[in-house]
Amino acid sequence: MKRALLALVLVTSACSSAVYGTAAPIPGAENLAVIDAPGTAAALAAVKTAAEAVFSYDSTDRAAFDRTAEEHLTGSAKTQYTALFEQVRNNPQPVRLTTRVLTAAALELTGNRVRALTVLEQVNGTSKGLATVAFTALAAGGRWRLSDIAVSPAQPPPAPHAEDGSAAGLRDSALAGARAAVTALASADSADPEGTYARAEAVTAEPLLSEYRTNKTAYVDGIRKSGVRAVVPPDLMTGVTTVTGAKATLLVYVNVQVTDAAGQTTTKPVTATLDLVRADGRWKASGLRSVTAS
């Protein structure tokens, strides 16, 4: 039995087949995500519309599946979509899934292509689930269609713009700061609890800093007694939602690798909203909130 990968699978079955996207940054292309505010908003709105349409499903109207795929999908996304829904469509029980995008951030916007990190909330009767999905969409003929679907994604970021005072430089310095902050905050080593705390404190600013300092003893004792080692892989995903001067808010997704005292390693997915402030010449975390169902 494989781990369920998408909310639509989580609420209808305990088993699933893995479906991973293949999208990657376009080398040398200028990334206009957030920089082109109207373009970013329009692309994210299109991704939201398409994602909510294709990941909602009513087993009493099976023909709608093909119509929706034709309208909103192109390229490899069609095959990925079919694979994701294979078990759901073969389920003899009635299924009525309603999906909405809780939050989204543009990772890359280059001409007619956008990559977006999204959190989907899906409801089937009284069951509810969340999934983090990276979509790539292409614009053609005046409309956007999803071209790649990556569930529980791990994709490299675009090449960063130099921190030269430009809007792109500010955005990408915030992204780098977010990756550094999340790496420190989500990592842990029970063999070095004081060092784990010190690394976390070093990347925090108020009001999060006061929370860490107030709870330092419990934090350190908890890490020591846990017997675990948590490592953040380099392919964590971050997307800026807002950045203005010395403040930024980002959507973050990472699969933390947790090794217990017996040497068994499991993956802990973390999706969160991260607030950053510019302090002491660097970006620091002022708030961190898990994305939860409504």
* 234 in any annotated domain: yes
Q: One digit per residue, pLDDT tens: the chain, 294 residues? A: 233 334 454 344 333 434 567 777 877 789 999 999 999 999 999 999 999 999 999 989 989 999 999 999 999 999 999 988 888 888 888 888 999 999 999 999 998 999 999 999 998 887 888 999 999 999 998 899 999 999 988 888 899 999 999 999 999 999 999 999 999 999 999 999 999 999 999 999 999 999 999 999 999 999 999 999 999 999 899 999 999 989 999 999 999 999 999 999 999 999 999 999 998 889 999 999 999 887
CA distance 178 to 191: 25
CB contact at 8 A, 277 and 247? yes
pTM for the model: 0.90
Q: Cβ of 10: how many Cβ atoms within 10 Å? A: 19
Peptide bond into 207 cis (omega under 30): yes
Domain count, the chain: 2
Q: Are 200 and 170 in contact (CB under 8 A)?
A: no
Q: Per residue in 178-207, pLDDT tens?
A: 999 999 999 999 999 999 999 999 999 999
173 and 144 within one domain: no
Residues 35 and 127 in one domain: yes
* Domain limits for position 59: 7-151
Q: pLDDT tens digit string along 202-244?
A: 999 999 999 999 999 999 999 999 999 999 999 899 999 999 9
Q: Is residue 162 part of a domain?
A: no
Retrieve residue 127's tokens: 């069951």
Asked if 12 and 145 sit in the same domain, the reply is yes
Tell me how far apart the alpha carbons of residues 114 and 102 are, in angstroms, rounded to a whole number. 18
Chain CA centroid to CA 238, Å: 7
HEC-encoded secondary structure of the chain: CCCCCCHHHHCCCCCCCCCCCCCCCCCCCCCCCCCCHHHHHHHHHHHHHHHHHHCCEECCCCHHHHHHHHHHECCHHHHHHHHHHHHHHCCCCCCEEEEEEEEEEEEEEECCEEEEEEEEEEEECCEEEEEEEEEEEEEECCEEEEEEEEECCCCCCCCCCCCCCCHHHHHHHHHHHHHHHHHHHHCEECCCHHHHHHHHHHCECCCHHHHHHHCHHHHHHHHHHHCCEEECCCCCEEEEEEEECCEEEEEEEEEEEEECCCCCEEEEEEEEEEEEEEECCEEEEEEEEECCCC
Same domain, 105 and 191: no
Are 54 and 78 contacting, i.e. CB atoms less than 8 angstroms apart? Answer: no
* Distance in angstroms (rounded) separating the CA atoms of residues 92 and 278: 54
186: domain CATH number is 3.10.450.230
Same structural domain, 189 and 238: yes
Same domain? 94 vs 194 = no
